[in-house]
């Protein structure tokens, strides 16, 4: 069977340019965020993916690896090295679940909990770099969540 897309509208040529693609705007903005976070997170000794793990753990300080992976949309092959490095830095500990040996539970150490005090500084710095007010950030975030939801539902 030959697959084809239904043609619903005529798209102007200008809209077909790389710079006008929504996907490219999101992709390039994600990379810009990562670059902007780097010097901010370097000061606290975290990479951007490690920061995302810490954010998840600051919300709930003890979670299975699988739950963290689902929140961050990361597979275990990507997540495991991040967790190993965080553990080596004394921010988390990993233990086998006593009820299910197959599960690994990640929890914050005292040092990891104490690092949460840096979140205001980190968020303020990235907010300044983004050049947006808190209200603008909330609006953009809600639009992106809606976009992600629509795209997820379409697959």
pLDDT tens-place string over residues 79-130 = 999 999 999 999 999 999 888 888 999 999 999 999 999 999 999 999 999 9
Structure tokens at 126: 């990235």
Q: Which fold has domain 36-154?
A: Arc Repressor Mutant, subunit A (1.10.10)
The CA distance from 7 to 19, in Å, is 22
Other C-beta atoms closer than 10 Å to the C-beta of 59 total 10
The CA distance from 14 to 139, in Å, is 27
| Distance (Å) of CA 31 to CA 16, 35, 37, 116 | 22, 6, 10, 24
Given this model, what pLDDT does residue 8 score? 75
Average pLDDT, the chain: 93
Domain boundaries, the chain: 36-154
- pTM for the complete prediction? 0.86
């Amino acid at each position: 069977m030959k697959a084809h897309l239904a043609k619903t509208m005529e798209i102007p040529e200008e809209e077909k340019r790389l710079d006008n693609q929504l996907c490219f705007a999101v992709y390039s903005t994600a990379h810009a965020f990562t670059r902007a976070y780097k010097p901010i997170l370097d000061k606290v000794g975290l990479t951007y993916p490690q920061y995302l793990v810490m954010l998840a753990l600051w919300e709930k300080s003890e979670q299975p690896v699988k739950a963290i992976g689902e929140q961050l949309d990361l597979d275990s092959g990507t997540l495991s090295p991040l967790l190993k490095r965080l553990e080596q830095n004394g921010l988390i500990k990993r233990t086998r679940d006593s009820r299910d040996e197959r599960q690994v539970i990640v929890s914050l150490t005292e040092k990891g909990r104490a690092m949460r005090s840096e979140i205001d500084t980190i968020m303020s710095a990235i907010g300044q770099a983004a050049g947006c007010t808190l209200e603008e950030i909330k609006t953009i975030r809600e639009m992106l969540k809606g976009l992600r939801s629509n795209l997820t539902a379409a697959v």
